Amino acid sequence: MRGTFEFPDHGLTARQVTSYFEERIRAVAIATVTAKGEPRVSPVGAVFHRTKFHIPTAEYSVRIRHLRKRPAISLTHFELNLIAVIVHGRAEIISPGVPEFEELEISEQEKWWHALRAKGQGVYLRIQPDRMFAWAKDPGHFSGV
pLDDT band at 97 (very low <50, low <70, confident <90, very high): confident
Distances, alpha carbon 53 to alpha carbons 2, 4, 37, 137, in Å: 22, 24, 24, 22
User: Can you tell me the distance from the alpha carbon of 31 to that of 17, in angstroms, rounded to the nearest whole number?
Assistant: 21
Q: Residue 59 in contact with residue 95, Cβ under 8 Å?
A: yes
Residues in Cβ contact with 133 at an 8 Å cutoff, skipping those fewer than 6 apart: 1, 5, 11, 84, 85, 86, 87
What pLDDT sits at residue 23?
A: 62
What pLDDT sits at residue 27?
A: 95
CATH code: domain 14-136 is 2.30.110.10
Q: Give the pairing of strands 39-49 and 52-58.
A: antiparallel
More confident residue, 78 or 107: 78
% of residues, the chain, pLDDT over 90: 63
Query: What integer is the mean pLDDT of 97-112?
Result: 74
More confident residue, 120 or 106: 120
Query: What integer is the mean pLDDT of 39-57?
Result: 92
User: Can you tell me the distance from the alpha carbon of 114 to that of 93, in angstroms, rounded to the nearest whole number?
Assistant: 18
Q: How many of the other CB atoms lie within 10 Å of CB of 99?
A: 7
Query: What integer is the mean pLDDT of 14-20?
Result: 92
- Across 15-19, 70-74, 89-93, least confident range: 15-19
Average pLDDT, the chain: 88
pLDDT in tens, 52-86: 999 999 999 999 999 999 999 999 999 999 999 99
User: Can you tell me the distance from the alpha carbon of 59 to that of 98, in angstroms, rounded to the nearest whole number?
Assistant: 14
Query: What integer is the mean pLDDT of 7-23?
Result: 87
